[in-house]
Amino acid sequence: MKIADRVQQIPPSGIRKFFEIAEEMDDVISLGVGEPDFTAPWAAREAAIDSLKAGKTSYTANRGMRELREEISKRVSTQYDLSYDPDDEILVTAGASEGLDVAFRALVDPGDVVAIAQPSYISYVPGVTFAGGEPLPVATREEDDFKLTTELLSAHGVADADMLVLCYPNNPTGAIMTAEEMAEVADFVREHDLTVLADEIYADLTYGDDHTSIATFEGLRERTVVFNGFSKAYAMTGLRLGYAMAPPQVISAMNRVHQYTMLSAPTTAQYAALEALRSCDSEVVEMRKQYNRRRQFVLSRFSEMGIDCFEAKGAFYVFPECPWDDTDAFAEALLEEQGVALVPGHVFGDSGEGHLRVSYATGLNELREAMARIEAFLG
Ligand code: PLP
């Protein structure tokens, strides 16, 4: 059978390729996956089980259960100073991934230029390409702590783009942006009449400054789609639940794509998410504390080894410089000789070249062992 050109032109995920090698080996410590090692809070799991016991196995409303949309609306208004109407400004999706895909398909016309702050999560470029748009990478730099600046936006010609995709706290660098820094990006976006897709899936995972959403700046709510979900902060990756927030006409357009592809997000997961928002905040606080301990440990160990590593303050990644020129060769040799898996930074865009993504969503004991093995490898 013929495979569509737009699919053939997308290479397989660089992360998966690497993990296929790791899966064949014994005694591998993986610092490669972007997935919490924690289990979803018990109350959320119990709510999912109870919903099944009660026979809640039907579709929900296309946009998601009303109660859940209300709870999401309440949460973002108290925590992030954003106000969205549960009736027509929130769409519950099968993970933030589905939300992003639906947004690209609903908002991007063939030939539209979509600027993507990179290094970035691996789905944005394929998502834009599948929608017929043209990705425009905007390379952030270690010297700016991988933040997006108006200088970079201008230098990459984003003034003439149609859309800007940004992700802070960032995967893969762990970078965050302060309110002042985000305000400058917001000014640029307003001035050049851009639409923004803000992937805020790591919003709850910052260590120091709280997260500021770009949608909170004047005139930005009208032109931004905010994405969030339960995979990271609530350790619910397998339940596949996320949400998008935007003005009514945008949510309505996204819902048109969503209703013909997903129909509604998984019902059982929606019950779990509802309970997560209602009663699981203390677990999120505890997980964040543990991530922060691990982050400090990993940063201090890289520093002891003489490896340059910028101080990541969000998500659960650090992004050290690779001690070898060839990052693929380094990652492969480290995996083969010491059984430690990490991801070469170029997988996240050319601007990630020369770095490695190290996930600390792994227990402290395993991290200790992994760092000792990296030290032995370098020694
Ligand atoms: N956005 C970013 C930045 C991510 O890192 C990930 C997963 O790694 C996702 C979205 C996907 O999230 P979900 O599990 O909600 O689809």
Which mutation among 121, 168, 225, 234 tests ligand 1's pocket best, with the greatest number of atoms within 8 A of CB?
121
pLDDT at 353 over 80: yes
Stretch 328-332: mean pLDDT, rounded? Answer: 94
Residue 285 CA, ligand 1 centroid: distance in Å: 20
Mean pLDDT to the nearest integer, 91-100: 98
For the ranges 58-62, 76-80, 132-136, the lowest mean pLDDT is seen at 76-80
CA distance 328 to 351: 15
CA dihedral 51, 55, 57, 60 (to 10 degrees): -70
33-37, 61-65, 210-214, 262-266: lowest mean pLDDT where? 33-37
Residue 104, pLDDT above cutoff 80: yes
Residue 71 has pLDDT above 80, yes or no: yes
Query: How many A from CA of 355 to the centre of ligand 1?
Result: 21
- Going from the Cα of 125 to the center of ligand 1, the distance in angstroms, rounded, reads 14
User: pLDDT grade, residue 135 (50/70/90)?
Assistant: very high
State the distance from the centre of ligand 1 to the C-alpha of 375, rounded, in angstroms: 30
pLDDT at 9: 86
Model confidence over 148-202: pLDDT tens digits?
Answer: 999 999 999 999 999 999 999 999 999 999 999 999 999 999 999 999 999 999 9
Instruction: Calculate the average pLDDT of the chain.
Output: 96
Residue 17 in this model has a pLDDT that exceeds 70: no
State what percent of residues in the chain have pLDDT above 70.
Answer: 99
Q: Note the maximum CA span of the chain.
A: 59
Q: Compute the distance between CA of residue 320 and CA of residue 335 in angstroms, rounded to an integer.
A: 17
* The pLDDT value given to residue 33: 85
pLDDT class for 315, splitting at 50, 70, 90?
Answer: very high
* Residue 373, pLDDT score: 98
Atom of ligand 1 nearest to the CA of 121: 3
- pLDDT number for residue 101: 98
The ligand 1 site (C-beta within 6 Å) comprises: 34, 95-97, 121, 167, 171, 199, 201, 229, 231, 237, 242
Tell me: pLDDT of 288 over 70. yes
Q: Which of 118, 201, 359, when mutated, tests ligand 1's pocket best, judged by the most ligand atoms within 8 Å of its CB?
A: 201
Return the bridge partners of 165, or none: 116, 197
pLDDT at 108 over 70: yes
Mean pLDDT of 301-330: 96
Residues contacting residue 223 through CB under 8 Å, at least 6 positions apart = 189, 190, 193, 194, 195, 196
Task: Look up residue 148 and give its DSSP letter.
Answer: -
The answer to whether the beta carbons of residues 253 and 225 sit under 8 Å apart is no
Residue 306: burial class (beta carbons within 10 Å; 0-12, 13-18, 19+): exposed
DSSP state of 220: T
Is the pLDDT at 21 greater than 80, yes or no? no
Over residues 156-165, the pLDDT tens digits come to 999 999 999 9
